[in-house]
Amino acid sequence: MKKILFALGLAAVMAVPAYAQAREVTFSTQLSNYGGDGAYLALYLTDADGQYQETLWISGEKSKYYKHLRDWARGSGLNQAEYDGLTGASVSSGRTLNVTLELDDALIDSGYQVRVDTAVEDMRDNRSDVVAPLTTEGSGKSVAGRGYVQSFVYNLK
């Protein structure tokens, strides 16, 4: 299986310059064999109420389809500034997306959630396919998705 590894520390640091302590986090999103074209994914952070905070990663190259990542689209307002430099290719059925980012320590164990929205052409859009609290305890624990995501796991370094 092809693993895609992204190291985008600089971008993440630029996005959250106020925090001093950064921590490397790897997000692995494995898709099920849903039997469709490549999936568009949005990984983003929300607060405990589900309110959008910031974008972690967008998979999918055509921004005109981003509106189908519905919750993220609503939260980010589809503002290009929100996802600039944080995009990559769409993810095929059955494949795994690995993204490594540097997150500020303050975001961990502070009630934030990682969410994943997914969408596939001619198939349904999944709002909050995955919802996982961002905690030290949750690190390495696999969470099942309810749409195209088979399992989702993040590892804190």
Partner 1 sequence: MLRKLHGWPGLVAALLLLVLATTGVILSVVPAIERAGATIPATGQISVADLAERVVAHYPGTEQIERSLSGEVVVYYSRDRQPGADLVNPLTGEGIAPYQPSAFLRWVKNLHRSFLLDDAGRMLAGGLAVMMLLLCLSGMFLLARRMGGWKAILKPIAGSGSSRIHAELARFAVIGLLLSALTGSYMSAVRFGLLPEAAAAEPSFPAEVSGGTPAPVSSLLALKNVDANELRELVFPYPNDPSDVYSLSTTQGSGFVDQATGELLQYQPRSTGNQFQHWMIRLHTGEGLWWLGLILGMAALTVPALSFTGIQVWWQRRSTSVRLGEGASIEVADVVILVGSEGNTTWGFARDLQNKLNQAGKKVHCAPMNDLAKRYPQASVLFVLTSTYGDGDAPSSASQFMTRLEHFQANDGLEFVVLGFGDQQFPKFCQYALDVDAALSSKGLQQVNLVTRIDRGSAIQFREWGEAIGEHMGISLALTHNPAPAATAEFELVERVDYGVAVNAPTSILRFRPVQDRRNLWQVLSFRSRSNLPSFEAGDLFGVAPPGDNTARLYSLASSASDGQLEICVRKQTNGLCSGYLHSLEPGDRISGFIQQNPGFRPAGGATPIILIGAGAGIGPLAGFIRKNTDRNPMYLYWGGRNPQSDFLYQPELGCYLDDHRLTGLNTAFSRSAEKAYVQDAIIADESALRQLIEKGAQVLVCGGRDMASGVSQVFDSILKPLHMDVDELRAEGRYLEDVY
Give residues in contact with partner 1 (CB under 8 A).
Answer: 35-37, 50, 64, 67, 70, 74, 77-78, 122-127, 146-147
To partner 1, the closest distance from the beta carbon of 80 in angstroms equals: 13
Residue 144 burial (10 A CB sphere; 0-12, 13-18, 19+): exposed
To partner 1, the closest distance from the beta carbon of 136 in angstroms equals: 27
What is the DSSP code string of 45-65?
A: EE-TT--EEEEEEEE-S-GGG
To partner 1, the closest distance from the beta carbon of 101 in angstroms equals: 26
Task: Identify the three-state secondary structure at position 96.
Answer: strand
| Closest CB to partner 1 among residues 138, 147 | 147
To partner 1, the closest distance from the beta carbon of 112 in angstroms equals: 18
Supply the DSSP symbol for 61. Answer: S
Cβ–Cβ contacts within 10 Å for residue 146, how many? Answer: 12
| Closest CB to partner 1 among residues 12, 66 | 66
| 129 closest CA partner among 23, 34, 4 | 34
| Closest CB to partner 1 among residues 122, 136 | 122
| Closest CB to partner 1 among residues 93, 98 | 93
| Closest CB to partner 1 among residues 10, 74 | 74
To partner 1, the closest distance from the beta carbon of 85 in angstroms equals: 20
Residue 130 burial (10 A CB sphere; 0-12, 13-18, 19+): buried
